[in-house]
């Protein structure tokens, strides 16, 4: 059931705070600007077009920032149907705050559908909320296709734990040993299972996820390449550029200059 929807455009520096105990899910589609989320002593920054989910009873404080002059979001507050539960298992950036980048592919299509949810819910049609809820489910299904965690159910629990950690913290320093500790298994066992189930080593998989994140940041922001390198786990911008070229075929600077859409 949809409780409410809206579209907001705020100047940078605007803040919002939600107290503990709010009983509904909150969906936010960031269209422009950037958001700093803070909850229970943890924080994360979201830049560019993205979709965020906040679980019920999650207290948080957000402030709006970024390279653009204004911040723009479409939001919906809802109670999910029981059969939607698996559609809400997105990567968790900080406790209670879930996130998908939406610059391309199924996630970008989901974002457009979520915009349609607000248009339908705020329309004049007598059945507007039924149409809006139908669109909300369609958007969640599209987002599920883009969810990096959606295909994890068949994986070994240790491999699943390692993949989830990489998805949630691609910029953290990691090694096979640290991933194995997180997965509560030996490094050799993790490496063997990981390669067998995903077709590549843990560290190669980590690098591929970092490069996908870097591609998004290059396309969606004006952040310096050196800063992006640090955000995706590289201490050295030259090393980052070398690995990016090896993976993508062009330099980060050239990738940024390419036309999008």
Shared domain check, 88 and 49: yes
Shared domain check, 105 and 180: no
Q: What's the confidence (pLDDT) of residue 112?
A: 94
Last residue of a domain, one of 146, 175, 192: 146
Give the C-alpha separation, 249 to 32, whole Å: 29
Residue the block writes with tokens 């295909």: 151
Give the C-alpha separation, 199 to 185, whole Å: 19
Partners of 62 in the β-ladder: 16, 37
Give the C-alpha separation, 149 to 169, whole Å: 13
Shared domain check, 162 and 131: no
CATH code at position 253: 1.10.10.60
CATH code at position 68: 2.60.120.280
Phi, psi of 81 (to 5 degrees): -70, 155
Shared domain check, 163 and 136: no
Give the C-alpha separation, 105 to 23, whole Å: 31
Give the C-alpha separation, 242 to 252, whole Å: 9
Shared domain check, 71 and 15: yes
Q: What's the confidence (pLDDT) of residue 34?
A: 86
**Does residue 12 form part of some domain?**
yes
Give the C-alpha separation, 87 to 80, whole Å: 10
Domain limits for position 10? 2-146
Shared domain check, 21 and 134: yes
Shared domain check, 181 and 129: no
Shared domain check, 125 and 23: yes
Per-block average pLDDT, block size 10, for the chain (261 residues)?
88 83 92 87 88 92 77 91 82 90 87 94 85 91 83 77 81 94 95 91 92 82 90 94 93 84 42
Shared domain check, 23 and 128: yes
Q: What's the confidence (pLDDT) of residue 119?
A: 93
Phi, psi of 172 (to 5 degrees): -75, 150
**Does residue 215 form part of some domain?**
yes
pTM confidence score: 0.58
Is the Cβ–Cβ distance between 28 and 51 less than 8 Å?
A: yes
**Does residue 114 form part of some domain?**
yes
Q: What's the confidence (pLDDT) of residue 113?
A: 93
Q: What's the confidence (pLDDT) of residue 259?
A: 65
Give the C-alpha separation, 16 to 50, whole Å: 18
Shared domain check, 215 and 109: no
Closest CA to 145 of 204, 86, 97: 86
Shared domain check, 181 and 132: no
């Amino acid at each position: 059931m949809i409780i409410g929807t809206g579209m907001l455009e705020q100047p940078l520096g605007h803040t919002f705070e939600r107290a503990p105990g709010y009983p509904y899910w909150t969906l936010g589609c960031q269209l422009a600007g950037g958001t700093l989320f803070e909850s229970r002593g943890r924080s994360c920054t979201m830049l560019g077009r993205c979709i965020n989910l906040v679980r019920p009873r999650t207290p948080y404080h957000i402030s709006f920032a970024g390279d653009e002059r204004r911040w723009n979001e479409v939001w919906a507050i809802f109670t999910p149907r029981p059969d939607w539960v698996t559609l809400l298992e997105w990567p968790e950036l900080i406790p209670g705050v879930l996130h998908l980048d939406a610059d391309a592919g199924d996630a970008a299509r989901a974002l457009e559908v979520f915009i349609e949810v607000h248009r339908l819910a705020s329309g004049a049609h007598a059945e507007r909320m039924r149409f809006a809820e139908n669109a909300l489910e369609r958007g969640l299904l599209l987002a599920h296709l883009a969810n990096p965690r959606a295909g994890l159910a068949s994986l070994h629990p240790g491999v699943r734990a390692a993949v989830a950690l990489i998805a949630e913290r691609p910029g953290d320093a990691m090694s096979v040993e640290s991933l194995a500790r997180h997965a509560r298994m030996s490094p050799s066992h993790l490496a063997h299972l990981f390669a067998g189930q995903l077709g590549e080593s843990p560290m190669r998989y980590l690098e591929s996820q970092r490069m996908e994140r870097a591609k998004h940041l290059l396309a969606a922001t004006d952040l310096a390449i050196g800063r992006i390198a640090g955000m995706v786990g590289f201490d050295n911008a030259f090393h980052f550029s070398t690995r990016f070229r090896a993976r993508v075929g062009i330099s980060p600077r050239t990738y940024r200059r390419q036309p999008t859409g």
